[in-house]
Structure 1
Amino acid sequence: MTHIPYLFKYNNTSFAHYWSKGVGKELLDQLGYVPNLAIAEKFIPLLYQWDRVGDQVIHDLFTKTGFSGGNASLFDYIDQKPLAEAQKDVFDNFFRHVDPDPEWLDRRKLQIGAELSRRPGLTSLIVLRDYCLMGGYESAAINKPLIYTGALKKGAAKRLTETVEFWVQIMKEDALEIPNTGFKSVLSTRMIHSFSRVNILGKTDWDSNKWGIPLNSWDMLATNLGFSLVFLVGLRRMGIQPSEEEVDGLFHLWKYIGYLLGIPIQIIPENENEAIEALFYWTMTQREGDGDTLALATALKDEPIHAYYPKQALMRQMMREIHLYYNRYLLGDYSCNQLGLPSTTIGRAAIINIWKTKKQEKRINEIGFRENMIVEGGREQENVRLIYQKFNSQ
């Protein structure tokens, strides 16, 4: 019988509040029923399933070359450059299990999903940072790998820089076409996950009885939901009203990305209703954040103060307050209080961007307006990526 770790206890008051009194209540109303929590126990084995295919690459190559060397070889393989026979064999075996162009893939839907992600511009990045990323700290177990890999010590700016780099690169036009940067970025991220897992299990006192295997399939699904469903909810909270075609494209996009990342294809949601049900099961089987995750939340809260941009200390303090306002606006008071996030008065200046976003969305069906927003939004996101790379890589 599979061991039931401590997190499957159905007593997380934070997430229970989300589904009974928070935004989750609207999602359940949309779904039309409350999922049977007892069914969640069938997902327990996923805590002990992981990307063995990716880990094999780490064992066969990355442990010998180091991560940078292994990653360079991966990119050379994708670019069809000459490789040593042993290295080529490693990646030949990997891609026997990973089809970059599966028969179910609809590249038109990928395009539409990426366009939805680009067209809100800075608003998309706000949702990712202040809703998806900060909200994820409400669970203890999923964040343990961050602690064990030293993410807290490295600082929130580094993690934000890496997240922005990953997300912006994969959302660019045709980014997931082989051998473009977005496609490489997804597979490189998969190697990061495997490299981290192999090192955590091999070099630390990780307790699998408590937390399952590091970066297991169940928690990887939750991360996928954070980028798809939770991101979608956040966009709507900010005033974006995606069409059915855009929503369908967003979930197809993250189905493909999730597949490339090694998440079992059968558990990745096909649509919004499936995603709502999956999010319910995952959140309601999580313990609340502990001291480690509260420390991560605090680090993210204070990231603007310790960043290198803007250069003026007063402006960095202002950015901190603005992000705190978005935290309250998107997550709600209950979750922010759970995470130890203070309220703010000065940060209410963020309302201007919300107002601007809603005003623009009213024009989305005007001829040429949507297309222009996709171009301008993508440019805005790229500028933010470059700022993070320049100032936070110091």
Structure 2
Amino acid sequence: MKLDLDQHRKTGDQPADDFVNDYFLDQQKKLKLDLALKNLIKNSDWSSFILEIPEAAWFDKTFNDLNFIQPQIRTKALQFYNKKSAYILQLLGLLSLPYCYAAADGAKVLYQTERMYKDVAKRLEETGLFVAEMMNPKAFEAEGSGKIQLFKVRLMHAAARFYIQKGNWDMKLGLPVNQEDMAGTNLSFSLIVIRGLRKMGFVINQDEQMSYIKYWSWIGAMLGLNPTLLPQNGKEAHDLEIAINQRQFKASAEGTQLTQSLLKCFYSLNDEKQIKNVEIAGFMRFLLGNPVSNILDLPKANFPVSKQILLKLKVSVV
């Protein structure tokens, strides 16, 4: 893949941004949109939504112009997820989110949205629901909500760009929710999850890895990512991740605060039956590795070797 990450850092999602600017700058149109979105729950609601908000037809064009992911690729990705869903959903909070917090400039955007540290449990729930729906075999049927969720996430990103730029945002950091940051987030759901599963002891073959990465690249395309930022295999995903990591991963007050809020959320939700609260940071450090953990100022707690062994024994029989 040919990368121009400097340019991608200045770029958002033009169709979504134009739509948001059109509706958000007119209070009456925004109220109309808000009401229509509340009634947009399932894919079958889309036709009624378009009648009320015809300008949203740009998303239909995206959805139709970008061919649906090859059925065999999606089937393999969904089978992979189904076999490991409980672990994957855990990794979204323990690995994927803190991985994103290590990108300092992107973390500033997440911090400004406030919900990322003031309503962490809700954010975790929403992330889990989004992933679960993308992995639902019926997600894109009439009674599913796959198309609707993709549209709403894309709209949420455009809304963040709209509002954050109205503040005192420093454009030297790049456009808020830019292409590079969105690409890093997409990798956190695919390549980084696969790495986490392997760290836990799962054996994942190349066919499984390729299918999962390709499916998430298709999801990324639906969310407005540039084709050059959509890896089609493990090597392309690895190369993109390294390029973003080297450019963006560094310590920041926002990344540290987001991580501390995440830990506090885990402490409040954990029943301490399988893992003690004092071991959670150690488990995250085990998954993330020391370089990223140190960027996030994670406590230097150990994840006991005995539990690492038990974890690997447990997943070996899954």
TM-score, length of structure 1 as denominator length: 0.71
Shift of 1:343: 3.9
**2:148 and 2:306 mapped to 1: Cα distance?**
38
Give me the whole-angstrom Cα distance separating, in 1, the residues matched to 2:148 and 2:193.
Answer: 23
- Aligned equivalent of 1:355, options 300, 313, 316: 313
- Which position in structure 2 is the counterpart of 1:224? 186
Identify which of 226, 236, 247 aligns with 2:209: 247
State the SS of the aligned residue for 2:248.
coil
Q: Deviations over 1:313-367 (max 9, x none)?
A: xx3995533432321221223432332222446866753333200233xxxxxxx
Structure 1 84/274 Cα, relative in aligned 2: closer, same or farther at 3 Å?
Answer: closer
Shift of 1:66: 7.2
Q: Does 1:342 align with 2:307?
A: no
Q: Deviations over 1:232-289 (max 9, x none)?
A: 1111111222233222211221111001101012321111111111111111111512
Which of these residues, 41, 55, 65, is aligned with residue 90 of structure 1? 55
Give the number of aligned pairs.
Answer: 313
Structure 2 unaligned blocks of 5 or more? none
More deviation in 170-179 or 60-69? 60-69
Task: Find the partner of 2:289 among 332, 339, 354.
Answer: 332
Q: Tell me the residue number matched to 2:37.
A: 71
- RMSD between superposed Cα atoms in Å: 2.8
DSSP-derived class of the 2:84 partner:
coil
What letter is aligned with 1:323?
A: I
| Partner Cα distance (2:42, 2:239) in 1 | 40
Q: Report matched runs for 1:288-367 at 5 Å.
A: 288-307=250-269, 310=271, 315=272, 318-344=275-301, 350-351=307-308, 352-360=310-318
Aligned partner of 1:57 in structure 2 is: 19
Q: C-alpha distance in 1, partners of 2:185/2:32?
A: 26
Higher alpha-carbon deviation: 51-60 or 186-195: 51-60
Within the candidate set 222, 227, 239, 1:277 is matched to 239
* 1:318 and 1:347 in contact (8 A); partners too: no
Equivalent position SS for 1:79? helix
1:208 maps to which of 136, 146, 171 = 171
Distance 1:356 1:195, change over 3 A: same
Please tell me the residue identity of whatever aligns with 2:312.
I
Letter in 2 for 1:154: K
| Match among 199, 223, 233 for residue 163 of structure 2 | 199
List aligned pairs for 1:21-36, cutoff 5 A.
none
SS at match of 2:138: coil
Q: How far has the Cα of 1:130 moved from its partner? A: 1.6
The equivalent of 1:392 in structure 2 is none
How many percent of aligned residue pairs carry the same amino acid?
24
CA distance in 2, matches of 1:43, 1:262: 16
Question: What corresponds to 2:81 in structure 1?
Answer: 117
Q: Deviations over 1:145-182 (max 9, x none)?
A: 11111135523222212211211222222324456223
The one-letter code matched in structure 1 to 2:175 is I
Residues 1:141 and 1:166: Cα distance change in structure 2 (over 3 Å)? same
Query: How far has the Cα of 1:193 moved from its partner?
Result: 0.9
Q: Which residue of 2 aligns with 1:377?
A: none
**Counterpart for residue 70 of structure 2:** 106
What is the Cα deviation at residue 111 of structure 1? 2.0
2: CA distance between counterparts of 1:239 and 1:266?
Answer: 32
Give the distance between the partners of 1:337 and 1:152, measured in 2 at CA: 20
Q: Which letter does structure 2 place at the counterpart of 1:129?
A: G
8 Å CA contact 2:120–2:261 kept in 1: the answer is yes
Give the TM-score taking structure 2 as reference length: 0.87
For the residues of structure 1 that align with 2:231 and 2:162, how far apart are their CA atoms? 27
- How far off its partner does 1:71 sit? 2.3
